[in-house]
Amino acid sequence: MTEQNDRVTDILRSLQERAKELNCLYRIEEIINAEDLTLDDVFRGVIDAIPPGWQYPDICVARIQFGDQGFAFGDFRETEWMQEAIIRVYGEPVGALEVAYLEQMPQADEGPFLKEERKLLETIAERIGSCITHRRLLETMQSMQESEHTSRRAGREWSAILDLLRRTDQSLLMRVSRKMINHLCWSGVKAARRLLQDFRPHQTSDEPEVFFESNQPRGKDMPPSATALADRVFELAGEHLSDDEIISCVHNWIKQDRASFLVNTLENYHTAISEVSDAIQRYQHAGHGEVELSPSTRKGLLVSLVRRFLSDQLEYINVAKRYVEIADFHQLIQRLIYPAHGHGKTGGKGAGLFLACQIVQRHRDENELLAEIKTPKTWYLTSDGMHDFVYCNHLEDVFSQKYKEIDEVRQEYPDIVQVFKNSQFSATIVKGLSLALDDLGDKPLIVRSSSLLEDRFGAAFSGKYKSLFLANRGTKQERMDALMDAIAEVYASTFGPDPIQYRTERNLVDFQEGMGVLIQEVVGTQIGDYFLPAFAGVAFSHNEFRWSPRIKQEDGLARLVPGLGTRAVDRLGDDFPILVSPGQPGLRANATPEEVVRYAPRYMDVINLNTNKFETVDVAEFLRQVGDQMPAVEQLVSVYADGNLRQPLLGSVDFERDDPVVTFEGLLNRTPFVKQIGALLNLLERELSHPADIEFASDGKDLYLLQCRAQAPAKHAKPAPIPRDIAYSRLLFSATRYVSNGTTPNITHVVYVDPEKYGQLGSREELISVGRAVGKLNKLLPKRQFILMGPGRWGSRGDIKLGVPVTYSDINNTAMLIEIARKTGDYTPDVSFGTHFFQDLVEAEIRYLPLYPDEDGIAFNEAFFTRSPNLLAELAPEFESLGDTIRVIDVPRSADGQVLYVLMNADLDEAVAVLTDPAGQAEHDDASGQAVATTDGQDWRWRTRMAESVAARLDRKRFGVKALYLFGSTKNATAGPASDIDLLVHFVGTDQQRHALEQWFEGWSLSLSEINYLRTGYRTESLLDVHIVTDEDIANRTSYAVKIGAITDAARELLLGNSTPPAK
């Protein structure tokens, strides 16, 4: 019992000591900050305040020695039991603070003193030092101001300031003098140069070039004594400069000097974020206004800060330095989490958002709509947080993951995720995250990856790493656990197979990955069990998908969805966001109520607060249940009744009985939203000097900016370089109107509906059968490797004479839809921009291009289209009679093995279709020189190799096989990671053999499928698609047998293992 009591007493005593120390420190702060006290009073007060903070106040005395003065408490005398701390001003010792016990006391950490008391003493000494500095500057300033008032009368009053400095702060005097020499030199005062040389004895004016050319180290200049330098410099200044100029220079330099500690901290590359952060805090707390800095110093400071915290990309810095203030960084570090001794940055997303916010802030007066744009509360975890995490848990091996084979990476990834999720964060980070959670409250959060690669290589890296939504519900501990779990998962995603493969392909694998993390509150409101924004979306300042010739590229594009913006970011294929062009808000992609309803969003993403999960819900069902609670719902939906769409008035929708459709008509027509987004896009594009790409969300009241980056075109939607020296024979057509950006590569087939012949068809049935033939060809030709070219308007539902009547399913495999507008008389018909299925085309990334062959300067190789061999009769014999109208051209066959590339450049408004060797594709792939989509090649090569292995091991006699053929995508070198291998077996055996053969293939198929999964991550049930044909089939040319010796796309025979074929 007593032992326990003793321990309790110990703890209590220790706590009491800490309390005393704190009280002491508070008291001293009070005294120091009392500006009306003289320095002497301050010293006396401090001396009084010290003893109560020490363990044995009754016998404790203190003394301050400063200059020739000594201030002591009580009857200070030097004893055996003393401790001392040096008081420094600008790093120079100016005095000492001493504490002594008058009697011997029990031994503690440092004699009778506690280690806490040592710390306390140092702190007090430092505070006294800064107090002295502060007061000196104040005095200097006051005397300078006084001298300014009297300078005109009193002539050389500035010399009084110098006197003052000489007495109070020689190091400052020296810095000011050096600046004055430089100033005089730059002002062209020759004597100043001589003076400078006097102080630099190793350099003479006769041989200045030696400085640049000599390989010898230069001798170090010995600094002259401060007063001597000052006297000579200012004597010279007095001769050459006016009194006013000298006063104002000295005045400014003294002011600027006050921020020097921040400059020094930042210029030293070794200072950790924590020190930089302290320096910024100190700078900010000291109440320095930035006006006190010279423009160049200020700019230098800002650039250092930008480089430190945000990005070292020159383009970024260039813009950022115009927009950020030191105070902004002060705010940033309030919400910055970083490891101890860290040097990290916020990462690409963090930097993009930060800069965009500053730009919007600075222009809020320009447009009141901009002033209303908000950003959600965001905390930043710096990029080296991931390294800290890895080292902290001894996971260093993970960094070599990227050098492993991709199948190994894929196999190990799930374990990495688990290991990461079960690892600990360092105490500093945990503390930071805890603070963040306290600040963010219990609103749902999104944990966004913010990678350094994203920063460097733009949007190409977006979506490669994880972003996770958190419901953020439960106790603090539960919320912390969920948050750390999510961050660990984001970290782990750096080592996932997809990003690694992507980096390998682009030679970025050696770039040291740093992963910043943004912890952002999710914009939205709670509705029932769900949390969601009223709407969200993405917007681009350049519109690459124009549905009308009246829309220009710079009119921009916004993709809007109800709920979380995830569905607007990704192309969905089966669901549609609402498209609006802020520069032309009246022109909608969908004109009729049927189209509007057909292309309305049907699903939305939400956070389920009950299950803590991210979910996709049916919009109609959601609205039926809780539509009433949805904020601003009347702006989001129109009511569909009897084929009409009505914009509802406030509260007029009956969600149980009406049929609400998400159209955003109210939002687009009756609120300033479109103008707001337009203004934002224009501003960002103008200030970033680059098209901008933003994400936004609204809770129904305010618009929030969530992300901003430079708009980078999607894959195959980059502006293609247009070659100028194409031989006429290689050019199939060119276009100069309504061109979008992109490259349609590797086209092997063209379906050409001859406009003139189509126009001459005599009956409606014939016109309709052209549409059906196209639908058939769409299913037969290799997906995304053929283009459709036809008159006027594809999918025309009115007068079908002017456009082939097709639905989207008849054309959904084409790579490109081309509408040819031929002049008839004086009249060139309209093209449709694919309006009938515009949104389908956009979501499926099918390109659209109108051609005007009869305009001046346009190339159109009509002979190629009308004279190349026509495969229609072979592919679709039932449509043979339409052979004049529909021409199916096998490009490699008609062009000596070349394939077709369509290169489009919206910036030039030019497009060309050129014949190119399939091998020469890389030259057109990517303007930036990074090879793209090289995986395609790997996939078919691997498949071919595997097919050959299978063939080599196939025992003809055992299975009764006469021949084995390869066809389809593997043979055509178009196989992708999810393709199967099409094999055709010419079989002559018995039923038993056939059964055995099928089993043998099944084994191969399963094994290959597994290997393919490890290579690519694509799961397929089986990889081999084996078709067995008999002699009879071949004779009758039934089913797949037609592939053997076919005219187009014939199957390729594979070499079998043992060479003698089995007897029939």
Partner 1 sequence: MSTKPFNAFAMAQAQFDKVAETLGLDQGTKDLLRNPMREYHFSLPVRMDDGTTKVFQGYRVQHNDARGPAKGGIRFHPQETADTVRALSMWMTWKCAVAELPLGGGKGGVICEPHNLSMAEQERICRAFVRQIARDVGPLRDVPAPDVMTSGQHMLWMLDEYEQIRGGHYPGVITGKPVGMGGSLGRTEATGYGVVFTVREALKELGVRPHDTIAAVQGFGNVAQYAIELYNQLGGAVVAVSCWDQEDQQPYTFRKNDGIDLAELRKITDRFGGINKQKAAELGYEQLPGEAWIEQDVDILFPCALENSITADNVSKISKRVKLIAEGANGPTTPDADHVLHERGVFVIPDFLANAGGVTCSYLEQVQSNMNYFWEKDEVLGKLDVMMTSAFIGVSDMARKRKLYMRDAAYTIAIARVAQACKDRGWV
Structure tokens at 981: 């291998």
Cβ distance 502 to 494 under 8 Å? no
The contact pattern for partner 1, residues 613-652, with x = CB under 8 A and - = no contact, is ---------------------------xxxxxxx------
Q: Which of 589, 751, 914, 966 binds partner 1 (CB under 8 A)?
A: 589
Which residue is listed with tokens 């500093």?
A: 428
**Residue 1011 binds to partner 1 (criterion: CB under 8 A):** no
Of the listed pieces 192-200, 405-413, 597-605, 953-961, which binds partner 1 according to CB under 8 A? 597-605
**Residue 802 binds to partner 1 (criterion: CB under 8 A):** yes
Q: Which of residues 806-845 bind partner 1 (CB under 8 A)?
A: 808-809, 812, 829-830, 832-833, 835, 838
Mention every residue, 6+ apart, whose C-beta is less than 8 A from residue 408: none
Distance of closest approach, residue 876 Cβ to partner 1, in angstroms? 12
Q: Which of 118, 200, 404, 801 binds partner 1 (CB under 8 A)?
A: 801
Distance of closest approach, residue 588 Cβ to partner 1, in angstroms? 8
Distance of closest approach, residue 641 Cβ to partner 1, in angstroms? 7
Of the listed pieces 348-356, 578-586, 608-616, 937-945, which binds partner 1 according to CB under 8 A? 578-586
Q: Which of residues 876-935 bind partner 1 (CB under 8 A)?
A: 878, 881, 884
**Residue 792 binds to partner 1 (criterion: CB under 8 A):** yes
Which residue number, 204 or 809, has a Cβ lying nearer to partner 1? 809
The contact pattern for partner 1, residues 859-878, with x = CB under 8 A and - = no contact, is -------------------x
**DSSP states of 39-54:** HHHHHHHHHHHSGGGS
Which residue number, 35 or 765, has a Cβ lying nearer to partner 1? 765
CA separation for the pair 353, 492 (Å, rounded): 24
Spatial CA neighbour of 609 closest among 529, 674, 553, 708: 529
Distance of closest approach, residue 681 Cβ to partner 1, in angstroms? 19
Of the listed pieces 324-332, 370-378, 381-389, 754-762, which binds partner 1 according to CB under 8 A? 754-762
The contact pattern for partner 1, residues 526-565, with x = CB under 8 A and - = no contact, is ---------------------xxxx---------------
Spatial CA neighbour of 47 closest among 26, 24, 67: 24
The order of strands in the sheet holding 535-540 is 578-580, 557-562, 535-540, 692-698, 703-710
Distance of closest approach, residue 827 Cβ to partner 1, in angstroms? 11
Which residue number, 311 or 740, has a Cβ lying nearer to partner 1? 740
> Cα 273 to the chain's mean position, in Å?
22
- Helix, strand or coil, per DSSP, at residue 442: coil
Of the listed pieces 208-216, 442-450, 592-600, 706-714, which binds partner 1 according to CB under 8 A? 592-600
Q: How many CB atoms lie within 10 A of CB 186?
A: 9
Structure tokens at 744: 């349609």
Which residue number, 590 or 734, has a Cβ lying nearer to partner 1? 590
CA separation for the pair 422, 730 (Å, rounded): 60
**Residue 597 binds to partner 1 (criterion: CB under 8 A):** yes
**Residue 784 binds to partner 1 (criterion: CB under 8 A):** no
The order of strands in the sheet holding 816-820 is 847-851, 816-820, 786-791, 749-753, 886-890
- Helix, strand or coil, per DSSP, at residue 72: strand
CA separation for the pair 868, 880 (Å, rounded): 16
| Site size for partner 1 (CB under 8 A) | 59
Listed in order, strand segments (DSSP E) in 534-664 are 535-540, 557-562, 578-580, 603-608, 613-618, 637-641, 644-646, 660-662
Positive/negative CA dihedral, 114, 116, 122, 125 = negative
CA separation for the pair 1042, 929 (Å, rounded): 42
Q: How many CB atoms lie within 10 A of CB 273?
A: 22
The CA dihedral of 139, 145, 146, 150, to the nearest 10 degrees, is 150
Q: Which of 48, 766, 874, 909 binds partner 1 (CB under 8 A)?
A: 766
Which residue number, 122 or 570, has a Cβ lying nearer to partner 1? 570
Which residue number, 310 or 815, has a Cβ lying nearer to partner 1? 815
Distance of closest approach, residue 946 Cβ to partner 1, in angstroms? 30
Q: Which of residues 197-236 bind partner 1 (CB under 8 A)?
A: none
Of the listed pieces 363-371, 392-400, 678-686, 794-802, which binds partner 1 according to CB under 8 A? 794-802
Which residue number, 27 or 772, has a Cβ lying nearer to partner 1? 772
Distance of closest approach, residue 550 Cβ to partner 1, in angstroms? 6
Length of the chain: 1064
Listed in sequence order, the DSSP H helices in 762-910 are: 764-780, 808-811, 838-844, 862-867, 872-875, 891-894
Of the listed pieces 212-220, 679-687, 709-717, 797-805, which binds partner 1 according to CB under 8 A? 797-805
Q: Which of 561, 606, 684, 767 binds partner 1 (CB under 8 A)?
A: 767
Which residue number, 819 or 925, has a Cβ lying nearer to partner 1? 819
φ/ψ bin of 614: left (φ > 0), alpha (ψ from -120 to 50), beta (otherwise): beta
CA separation for the pair 66, 233 (Å, rounded): 30
Structure tokens at 598: 């057909």
Of the listed pieces 20-28, 43-51, 760-768, 957-965, which binds partner 1 according to CB under 8 A? 760-768
Spatial CA neighbour of 735 closest among 900, 866, 854: 854
Cβ distance 360 to 705 under 8 Å? yes
Spatial CA neighbour of 865 closest among 750, 978, 715: 750
Distance of closest approach, residue 597 Cβ to partner 1, in angstroms? 6
Q: Which of 318, 592, 616, 992 binds partner 1 (CB under 8 A)?
A: 592
Q: Would you tell me which residues interact with partner 1 (CB under 8 A)? A: 547-550, 574, 584-593, 597-598, 602, 640-646, 659, 661, 759-768, 772, 792-793, 796-799, 801-803, 808-809, 812, 829-830, 832-833, 835, 838, 878, 881, 884
